[in-house]
């Protein structure tokens, strides 16, 4: 039918003995969309189907998230990035534009850092790993014993009550109802024990009670040859918009866009606006390419050439 959006199909593979789910749509140059904590590939559907007329869109479920396995193991950014590298290799995609939201932004930056030869562009949406500050709720979720509290909060009756209360608040014109529903949406994927364990391990790999533990700011200079997009929701209360603005300032050629309708989940709160920004960026930039032989010169540009230059006697 004319105007019908392409299907966002679900696929499954086994990687290193564990089930990995991913979704794909469209054809053309590959674009990888990486979700954040307590999200999954399905949350990208409204954006992915709008890009799929001209691009092959691949959205994996990170290990421990969505319908992928929840093994006892490594939930670090590097482990997630390596798993995406392996998934792309199996389905025959050598290089791609990498886009990540929140935790997925940290994974996307780690993917670029570990596998620059496989990266064509980098898109960061309300990304973690760009500053210390993060919401008190996420800092609190890193506390010992929080898994039991999450189990209570993720009970279906509690979630339905939260969602219903949010609906009533919104109907009365109370904007806080949106945030109540956001809490319910965030907790819903954590109904299963394995998902809760994976969430806690993933969270503690990047956040503690003091804030974000992992920062990529010292390596942003490595993006000098790569088209870079930074997008933030203007209503974001989870990770400050200032992190995005400072990142765009640190990468001189980066494009910085804000979405007035969105808070921390632009792909859910304003998918049309986000898809429009992504498409314009893809259409107006050329994919970068770097070889192993060139990477050393990029990294070495800020590295001291001798112990004397480094101030070491």
Tell me the per-residue pLDDT of 175-213, one tens digit each, with 9 for 90 and over. Answer: 677 667 766 766 666 666 666 677 776 777 777 677 777
Annotated catalytic residue 27: no
Residue 226 inside a domain? The answer is: yes
What is the pLDDT, as a whole number, of residue 308?
A: 40
Under the banding of pLDDT at 50, 70 and 90, the label for residue 255 is very high
Domain carrying residue 68: 9-132+213-298
Euclidean distance between CA atoms 129 and 107, whole angstroms: 9
Q: Which of 215, 220, 236 is nearest to 122 (CA)?
A: 220
Residue 115 inside a domain? The answer is: yes
Q: Which residues pair with 23 in a beta bridge?
A: 10, 59
- Beta-sheet pairing, 211-212 with 18-25: unpaired
> How many structural domains is the chain composed of?
1
Under the banding of pLDDT at 50, 70 and 90, the label for residue 310 is very low
- Over residues 224-237, the mean pLDDT reads 95
Annotated catalytic residue 133: no
Residue 244 inside a domain? The answer is: yes
Q: Name the more confident of 4 and 113.
A: 113
Residue 50 inside a domain? The answer is: yes
What is the pLDDT, as a whole number, of residue 306?
A: 42
Q: Which residues pair with 124 in a beta bridge?
A: 100, 230
For the chain, the average pLDDT equals 85
Euclidean distance between CA atoms 41 and 59, whole angstroms: 5
Q: Please answer whether residues 106 and 129 qualify as being in contact, where contact means their C-beta atoms are separated by less than 8 angstroms.
A: yes
Annotated catalytic residue 102: yes
Euclidean distance between CA atoms 311 and 313, whole angstroms: 6
pLDDT of 157 over the 60 cut: yes
DSSP characters over 230-294:
EEEETT--SS-HHHHHHHHHHSTT-EEEEETT-SS-HHHHSHHHHHHHHHHHHHHSPPP---HHH
Catalytic residue, from 236, 243, 267, 270: name it: 236
Exposed, middle or buried: residue 62 (CB in 10 Å: 0-12, 13-18, 19+)?
Answer: buried
What tokens appear for 7 in the block?
């299907």
Q: pTM above the 0.85 mark?
A: no
Geometric angle at alpha carbon 82, from 81 and 85, rounded to 5°:
90
Q: Which of 207, 229, 43, 37 is nearest to 131 (CA)?
A: 207
pLDDT tens by residue, 160-170: 787 788 888 88
Euclidean distance between CA atoms 31 and 47, whole angstroms: 11
Q: Which of 140-149, 163-172, 219-228, 243-252 has the lowest mean pLDDT?
A: 140-149
Catalytic residue, from 41, 102, 127, 205: name it: 102
Q: Which of 142, 130, 68, 85 is nearest to 105 (CA)?
A: 130
Q: Which residues pair with 33 in a beta bridge?
A: 99
> Token pair 């003091």 is at which residue?
210
What is the pLDDT, as a whole number, of residue 81?
A: 96
What tokens appear for 136 in the block?
């008190």
Residue 1 inside a domain? The answer is: no
What is the pLDDT, as a whole number, of residue 50?
A: 97
Residue 98 inside a domain? The answer is: yes
Instruction: Kindly report the CATH number assigned to the domain that includes residue 61.
Output: 3.40.50.1820
Q: Please answer whether residues 58 and 32 qualify as being in contact, where contact means their C-beta atoms are separated by less than 8 angstroms.
A: yes
Q: Please answer whether residues 129 and 94 qualify as being in contact, where contact means their C-beta atoms are separated by less than 8 angstroms.
A: no
Exposed, middle or buried: residue 20 (CB in 10 Å: 0-12, 13-18, 19+)?
Answer: buried
Catalytic residue, from 80, 264, 267, 270: name it: 264
């Amino acid at each position: 039918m004319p105007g019908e959006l392409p299907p966002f199909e679900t696929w499954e593979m086994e990687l290193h003995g564990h089930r990995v789910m991913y979704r794909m749509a469209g054809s053309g140059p590959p674009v990888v969309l990486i979700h954040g904590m307590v999200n999954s590939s399905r949350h990208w559907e409204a954006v992915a189907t709008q890009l799929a007329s001209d691009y092959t869109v691949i959205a994996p479920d990170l290990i421990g998230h969505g319908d992928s396995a929840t093994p006892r193991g490594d939930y670090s950014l590097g482990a997630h990035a390596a798993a995406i590298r392996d998934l792309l290799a199996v389905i025959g995609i050598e290089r791609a534009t990498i886009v990540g939201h929140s935790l997925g932004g940290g994974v996307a930056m780690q993917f670029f850092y570990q596998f620059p030869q496989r990266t064509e562009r980098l898109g960061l949406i309300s990304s973690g790993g760009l500053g210390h500050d993060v919401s008190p709720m996420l800092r609190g979720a890193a506390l010992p014993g929080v898994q039991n509290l999450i189990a209570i909060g993720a009970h279906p009756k509690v979630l339905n009550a939260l969602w219903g209360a949010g609906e009533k608040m919104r109907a009365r014109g109370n904007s806080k109802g949106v945030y109540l529903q956001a809490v319910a949406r965030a907790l819903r994927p954590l109904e299963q024990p394995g998902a809760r364990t994976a969430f806690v391990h993933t969270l503690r790999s990047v956040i503690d009670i003091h804030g974000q533990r992992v920062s990529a700011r010292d390596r942003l200079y490595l993006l000098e040859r790569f088209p870079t997009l930074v997008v933030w929701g203007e209503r974001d209360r989870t990770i400050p918009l200032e992190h995005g603005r400072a990142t765009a300032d640190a990468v001189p050629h980066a494009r910085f866009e804000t979405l007035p309708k969105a808070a921390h989940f632009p792909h859910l709160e304003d998918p049309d606006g986000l898809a429009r920004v992504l498409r314009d960026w893809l259409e107006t930039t050329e994919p970068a390419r770097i070889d192993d032989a060139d990477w050393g010169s990029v990294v070495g540009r800020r590295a001291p050439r001798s112990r004397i230059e480094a101030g070491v006697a």
